[in-house]
Structure 1
């Protein structure tokens, strides 16, 4: 597939990426068994050949195996790729642990560099904010990693507006990664305006609603029994699923009018939110990747955007993004710097 993917500035610190990226999580974790390594390496190479150079992973995915996969896939093309990874979430004794203390920050970065087999990480995110450590302390250690040449740019994921401001005051934040899609719009009130005020780029993960905005309820028929969406996603369960399927049917009708697929329309809506927005849809299939890339050709008028948003208003989706046990640490606040003693 020969194509030219436009590029865009992500944030105001100099990072330039492809206008659409690739989320690599599902290749190794959460969405059923890990996919065959050679197939995923081949897919990443094809994605690169199409002009998508912004690749997203995390030490959590696997854990660790997704970074190893990317390290192998990037042999020979590393300098032409913008590589993003994350730290901050670990599993200890079977329980999720959120950490942002300096020793942990540094140890995670060193370990990711080895797994990725690179000298420098382009964009390094805090995956979840540690509510016990002042954000200034975590960012302070990341700033040292920038000065040492181990990372180029700093990012935040799932952070509150006040945390973003505090972090940005210590070292410029290049990008904030949020779950943003037609059925997840709750960050539009404060997070996105804060990013735009500070010149921070916005990376949208799960821009297709974890696949629902591409396939609707029938997606569940294709998922393995261990797929996180099938066992732990409130929006895919029972009455919520029935209500959300009505949204998907409406999206299909709008897409038919526009002569594109529902997934392309959902991604096009995000692309039309501004040049500072970069969606990173994930996939393990070339066909799906090519369909997603086609969204860049879908141009929407203001009237069409209004029509879409009339269906997918801020509270349209039934069910939460996560169940209550997973949701407690999202956009957590951190204690004041004055409370910290190392």
Structure 2
């Protein structure tokens, strides 16, 4: 696979987001099936694997650790702290002592002595970002982690964190239908040589054509709470998918290849981490590494799906309060 730079690491241009092997989209696959996906990604040339303490409340780290331990020297292993499961509930806690304990727990579950890239999963507004990043810097000094990342933060918060310790990557939702990083974060990452790791590059399945009827989502599928998948918005968004399908038919690419190809073309700083539990979808996603879209196709994709044509916010109001990412229509303060 083609390679891109992630802090001090050279990684596959497309990584694997491991979340849905244990978490978020209804009943997860069996551990056996999850292991097959991890090993198939490895065999296909993926070297970047992304997990978190939150995913499956530790189960995802255990799966990744168990399956990939024999291949540890071949991969760049990333995880996250600052948002975990406590007594069955998701809790954001960026206090230094909590981050240190979460790291120890993650090292044990991942069966490794060091995590290559460790993200602050969410900025806890009750704790100055400098304090949380300072705790992660201590973990670097202790040899527990090799580099520091942030997730769902603004360009201004990135600048504050950089003043404490170099930041290798910012993880943010970025895709044809979620353009928030284009407000300020992508430019900040370019200027500071920070990788932008794009989660949900396929719009949580929508851009790949895998979601036509959200009413079939499992009761615990997190997309049920996302406005874009609710009836009043989804019917409008389906028209975008129909237009994308027309372009896919015309060009001979799949929907996933178009969406991933567009994202890879935005900047060398961008590293998508699509997730899947399906081996065929995995191969389709990774095949975007070989796709080159000409400027006409990129322009048409831009015109079909963008912040003005998508209906509905990406998060509900409660979740929106937990993130620091810039939003359209809100003035951006200088970093």
> TM exceeds 0.5?
yes
Moved over 6 A (4+): none
Once the two structures are TM-superposed, the CA of residue 43 in structure 1 deviates from its matched residue by 1.7
Aligned to 1:119: 113
Which of 225, 229, 250 is the aligned partner of 1:232? 225
Which of 244, 259, 262 is the aligned partner of 1:266? 259
Aligned to 1:187: 181
Once the two structures are TM-superposed, the CA of residue 215 in structure 1 deviates from its matched residue by 1.5
Q: Could you list the runs of 5+ residues in structure 2 that have no partner in the other structure?
A: 327-335
- Partners of 1:46 and 1:312 in 2: CA distance: 31
Once the two structures are TM-superposed, the CA of residue 96 in structure 1 deviates from its matched residue by 3.9
Q: Could you list the runs of 5+ residues in structure 1 that have no partner in the other structure?
A: 334-342
Once the two structures are TM-superposed, the CA of residue 93 in structure 1 deviates from its matched residue by 5.8
In the alignment, is residue 77 of structure 1 matched against residue 71 of structure 2?
yes
Is the 1:217–1:245 contact (alpha carbons within 8 Å) kept by the matching residues of 2?
Answer: no
In the alignment, is residue 276 of structure 1 matched against residue 272 of structure 2?
no
Aligned to 1:331: 324
Aligned to 2:2: 6
Once the two structures are TM-superposed, the CA of residue 132 in structure 1 deviates from its matched residue by 1.3
Once the two structures are TM-superposed, the CA of residue 110 in structure 1 deviates from its matched residue by 0.6
Once the two structures are TM-superposed, the CA of residue 239 in structure 1 deviates from its matched residue by 1.7
List per-residue Cα deviations over 1:270-310 (Å, max 9, x = no partner): 01112211100000011000111111222112222111111
Change (3 A) 1:332 1:216: closer
- Partners of 2:219 and 2:127 in 1: CA distance: 37
Matches within 5 A, 1:315-330: 315-330=308-323
In the alignment, is residue 21 of structure 1 matched against residue 20 of structure 2?
no
Which of 286, 290, 301 is the aligned partner of 1:297? 290
Q: What SS does the aligned partner of 2:104 have?
A: helix
Is the 1:217–1:241 contact (alpha carbons within 8 Å) kept by the matching residues of 2?
Answer: no
The alignment of Structure 1 onto Structure 2 pairs a total of residues equal to 326
Aligned to 2:302: 309
Aligned to 1:338: none
Which of 171, 176, 197 is the aligned partner of 2:170? 176
Which of 83, 87, 90 is the aligned partner of 2:81? 87
Once the two structures are TM-superposed, the CA of residue 219 in structure 1 deviates from its matched residue by 5.6
TM-score after normalising by structure 2: 0.93
Once the two structures are TM-superposed, the CA of residue 97 in structure 1 deviates from its matched residue by 2.7
Once the two structures are TM-superposed, the CA of residue 91 in structure 1 deviates from its matched residue by 4.1
- Partners of 1:104 and 1:32 in 2: CA distance: 28
Q: What SS does the aligned partner of 1:308 have?
A: helix
In the alignment, is residue 61 of structure 1 matched against residue 59 of structure 2?
no
Aligned to 2:330: none
- Partners of 1:109 and 1:269 in 2: CA distance: 35
